[in-house]
Each structure stands twice: as C-alpha cells, then as structure tokens.
Structure 1
Amino acid sequence: MDLPVVCDSDDDEMVSHELEQMRSILEEAILETRSMPLKNRPRLPRIPLSKRNQAVVRTLNPMLVTYLEASRDLCETDSVLFGAAVAACRIIGAKLPMAGRATKQSSAIPAWRKRIEDRIAKARTLIGRLISFRSAGYYAELTERIDDLKQKIAAWGKRIRRFTERSRRFNQNRLFQSDQRRLYKSLERPEVCGAGPGPDQSNTVAFWRGLWSEPVNHSEGPWTEVVASQCASVTPMDPVIITPDDVAEAVRRAPNWKSPGLDGLHHYRLKGFMVCHAVLARQFQEALNQKSLPSLFTTGITHLVPKDQVTTDDSTTDLPHK
C-alpha cells in the first residue's frame, strides 16, 4: 500500500482517512510480529531519507504511545518497535520479504554484465566462423566484417570496465555513509577471499568453546591483597540513573544502518520513534536494578572470518560478533 500522507492538506476528512489507514496498518503489523520468533522476522530494508519517508515516521511516532505504555519488558517494547518499522515499510511501499530472513541471494554477476558478455561470446563465435569462410574467396568483405566485430568487442569490454568501476565507486560511497571504518579497512588491505574449504563445524565449536566457555582456575598472587586494601578506601560510585535523555543521546550517536542484532531493528528506527526513549529508559533501569537482561540482548550472531589463505585451520579465524 502506498499512501500519499497529506499532512499539510486543508481537507481534514482526507487527512483523517489517511491517518486511520496508517493506524490500521500499524495495528496489523504489531499483532503480526508480536508472537513471531526472532529468526522468522522479515529483514527490514534501508529506506531513503526523503521528506515523505520522514513524514511517515513522524506520523507513526505518536501512535505508538498506547502500545508502548502497555509494554511490560524490553522484549515487548522491541516487538512493538519492530512492528512499527514493518508498518512504515508497508506504507512507504518498500520491498519487504515476508518469508523470514532467508532472502533470495542475487547472482554474483550483474544482469547487465551478463548481457554484454553474451554479446561478446556470440561475436567471437561469429568471428571464428568468418575466419574459416574467408579462404573461400570473399576476403575483402569478410575482413571488413571481422574488423567491425573486433571493434564492437573492444567497445563492449571497455563498457564493462567502465560500469564495473562506476559500481565500485557507488558501493564505496554507500559504504562510506553507513560504515566508514569498514570502508577504510577495505582500502588499507584487501579482504581475504574464503574460496577454500571451510573448517569443520564441530572442530571449530570445540576449539573456541575451549577458549571461552571452559572455567579457568587462576592463582591469585600477593598483589591482589595490596589492590584490595587500596580499594577499601575508595568511595563507591553513585547509583546509575538512566534517563530518557541518556537513551536519546546514545541513539543519536549510533550509526543509522549498522548491522542489527537478532531482533533485526536498525538504529534509524529508534531515532525516528522517539516516544520509545522514555519507555526504554525505564525498562533498562529496571533491568539494571534487577541485574538481569533478556537473552535478546545477550545473544549474538558469530561469523568466522579467515585471517589468511588457510581456511581450514580453526586458529586462523577471527570471531567478529553482530
């Protein structure tokens, strides 16, 4: 559904009708995602920062108050915000896959490049045939045709190089806007291509579990007693009070489209739905006082990244978390 969102119109009936439609879409999206497992949530797309899209988010923002006030914990609040993000995508008309996170992988070769390469392949095949026919007595005509095809192949090859360079610059510019650190790392050193066979999954789990999950008995030296006596006179810090301003400041500093965690919620959604800041501050304060966080905030996705060309050795991989 693509609504025009006429927020400045003089026709109050039209504005009211659009608001009711948006409220209906919001309620349907929240009910749909409330009981949905995290792994089945659709992957939210990045939306352009246009005035119309921002107007949609601003309009949905006050509608969330009723749902957020009824939220009992951080998990419910996250579910409400994800449903609001889904509703915003539907109103804007953004493509939203509905069959979980598993989206169709695009081909490694772009369609435009494949078309040009097909033309080049056909032209080379035709050149080979013309060369074999040239000995039949039509030397001049066939030579001119062969030269023409060679010029076309050179032009198509130049077009592929030009489009590839343009695509590379476009991807670098987009990466600069979303994750500058990753861009600079890719410019400093080429990424290691994991083209070889990967390590065995069971061996990898056993290797890293032995480093991170096994209990270790440390022998405490006499220096620990000295540190403990020095810390005895240190005044304890005041209790931490989380305010809505703290949440707003943390959200403001976060990158808009940084890769989300298990919940699939980008920071841009938290920036747009500002009514959630007070609720998040209260619920984070309760979690801090109870010294307990839901598994949603303590579980991450781990990807193995090879550090060199040896991709089968478990010890030559890093474990960046998302």
Structure 2
Amino acid sequence: MLVTYLEASRDLCETDSILFGAALAVCRIIGAKLSTAGRATGQSSAIPAWRIRIEERIAKARAFIGRLICFRSGNTKPRIVRTVRMAFAGTSVSLSQPDIMQKLTERIDDLKQRIAAWGKRIRRYTGRLTRFNQNRLFQSDQKRLYKSLERPMVSGTGPVPNQADTVAFWRSLWSEPVNHNEGPWTEVVASQCVGITPMDPVTITPDDVAEAVRRAPNWKSPGLDGLHHYWLKGFVYTTLEYIAIGIIAIFWHDRGAESVC
C-alpha cells in the first residue's frame, strides 16, 4: 500500500506526509500510545518531585513568618494564635511568658534562614541536574547541546515592515544593474583558476539516502514533520528512492533548473 501512495506523490513534502501517515497507522495497529500534543514534539516541562517538596516547605515557612509578624504586631485572632502555637510546638515556649517577643523574633529569623537554605538547595540541585543533562546530551547530540547554549535572539520592538516595503527594499538591491570596479587582483585569481577541473555533477541516489538514514539515530528528536528515523529504516527500500527523487528535485530547483528528468 505504501508504494501505491508514494507513486502518486508530487513532492518531498507529500512524500513525508505519506510516511507519517504510515507510521501513525502502524502505531494504531499495534496499540502504541500516541502523543496528543501534535506532530511537533518537545521536552516535558514537568516540575521534579524534589523541587515541589522544597517549594512547599518554603511556602509553609513564609506563611508561618507572616502570622508570627502579625502576632508580634498585636493581632490576637484565634487563627493567628493557633499558628503561633504550632510554630512553637514541641518546645517549652509559652505565649504568656515575658520574653515571648524575643522568642518570636528568634523563631522568625530561624525560619528565614531555613528559607534561604532551601533556596540554595534548589539552585544547587538545579545546577547539578543541568550539568547531568548537558553531559548526557553531549554524548548523544552535540549539535543540540551547542544550540541550547546559545543566547536567545532579541527581536526588535519597532513596527513590522509590510510586504510591499520588503519587496521594494530587496528589489532595489538585486534588480538594479551595478558596475563594480574589481581591480587587478580578480584577473590574477581568474588566471589561477583556469586549470582547476570543474566538479562533477552531484547525483543523489537511493543508496546515498539509505546510508545517511542508516547512520542516523533511531529515536533522535524529529523536526516539524514528527517523523523519526526509525520509520525510514523500517519501511521498504522503495521509500528511500522517492525521498532521493524529492531531494534531487529540491537540489536542482535551488539552482534554477526548469525541469528534472
């Protein structure tokens, strides 16, 4: 069935869509779980359990600090009093003793130090996890690692030019004939390049595509098409022939060829 659909494909994009549909059909037949987030895949943004636990401790400590400060300011509501008693649970501190204000200040400072320590622990654990992921990614996909280390591009805040202005700008650069005064060095370079043998025409065969697919990792993160290399390896050899035809068409189209035989 796959060969029948591939024979009717008109370009590489349609060939890729057919292969994706075939992979989706196989997954449904074997009962594999499919992501509902669309064809584009991305990394999970789930928060680790250890970070959730530490952040809950920090939130609870901050709530304690707020109510202790309210009690120190003279707020004696039942809810505030209960919280203060919980803060001193397990100690010999009583709310009626004379130095209760000093004890409150010491307890607040202790909670603030714990919050600072928990924050440092989160930063330390996050840094360790980042280094671990970077080392693992360096072993599997160095290109993706270096790309993740690049600084994000800052887009401009000005108005976006419309299509007419963009076309007019580039047309003024590429459509107007310009006479350049190159100088004598161009003649020297041209004379030195006379004896260079021109490069043979590039011919992409199914064997070249098969070799490139064979060397690619099976489950490397796919592009916008969502198709892993595993499916290109698992489908019939004819698939690589149609991929090679599509690549050749794009190759010659970029060079201004009118037709591809």
Quickly name the TM-score band, shorter chain normalised: 0.5 to 0.7
Partner of 1:94: 34
SS in 1 for 2:253: coil
State the match for 1:172 in structure 2: 134
How far 1:77 sits from its partner (Å)?
1.5
SS in 1 for 2:161: helix
Q: Is residue 292 from structure 1 mapped to residue 230 from structure 2 by the alignment?
A: no
Structure 2 CA distance, aligned partners of 1:171 and 1:206?
45
Shift of 1:79: 1.5
Equivalent positions of 1:218-237 (< 5 A) are 218-219=178-179, 223=186, 227=190, 231=194
TM superposition shift of 1:81: 1.3
For 2:123, the aligned partner's letter is R
The whole-number CA distance in structure 2 between the counterparts of 1:197 and 1:238 is 44
TM-score for both structures, normalised by structure 1 = 0.48
Contact 1:89 1:96 in 2 (8 A): no
TM-score, scaled relative to structure 2: 0.56
Kindly tell me: are residues 96 and 154 of structure 1, through their superposed partners in 2, closer, same or farther at Cα, counting changes over 3 Å? same
Q: Which residue, 186, 203, 221 being the options, matches 1:241?
A: 203
Structure 1 stretches lacking a partner, 5+ long? 1-62, 294-322
Relative to structure 1, is the Cα distance of residues 130 and 288 closer, same or farther in structure 2, using a 3 angstrom cutoff?
closer
Question: Displacement, 1:118?
Answer: 5.0
Q: C-alpha distance in 1, partners of 2:247/2:153? A: 41
Identity of aligned residues (%): 56
Shift of 1:93: 0.9
Residue 121 in structure 1 maps to residue 90 in structure 2? no
Tell me, what secondary structure is at the counterpart of 1:157? helix
**Partner residue of 1:277?**
240
Note the alpha carbon deviations across 1:242-286, whole angstroms, 9 max, x for none.
32211122334557646625x45455543444632122234545x
Structure 2 distance, partners of 1:144, 1:80, is: 69
Note the C-alpha offset of 1:219. Answer: 2.5
- For residue 77 of structure 2, what is the aligned residue in structure 1? none
For 1:160, the equivalent position in structure 2 comes to: 122
Quick one: structure 1 residues 284 and 147, their matched pair in 2 at CA, closer, same or farther if it must change by over 3 Å? closer
Q: 1:180 to 1:211 in 2, by over 3 A?
A: farther
Letter in 1 for 2:244: A
Deviations 1:223-257 (A, max 9, x none): 479839965x7766555433221112233455764
Residue 177 of structure 2 is matched in structure 1 by: 217
Higher radius of gyration, 1 or 2:
2
SS at match of 1:201: coil
Which residue type is aligned with residue 77 of structure 1? T
Following TM superposition, where does structure 1 have runs of at least 4 consecutive aligned residues deviating by more than 6 angstroms? 103-107
What SS class does the counterpart of residue 156 from structure 1 fall into? Answer: helix
- What is the DSSP-based 3-state SS (H/G/I as helix, E as strand, rest coil) of the residue aligned with 1:183? helix
Distance verdict in 2 for CA 1:272–1:165, change over 3 Å: farther
List gaps (5 residues or longer) in structure 2. 74-94, 255-261
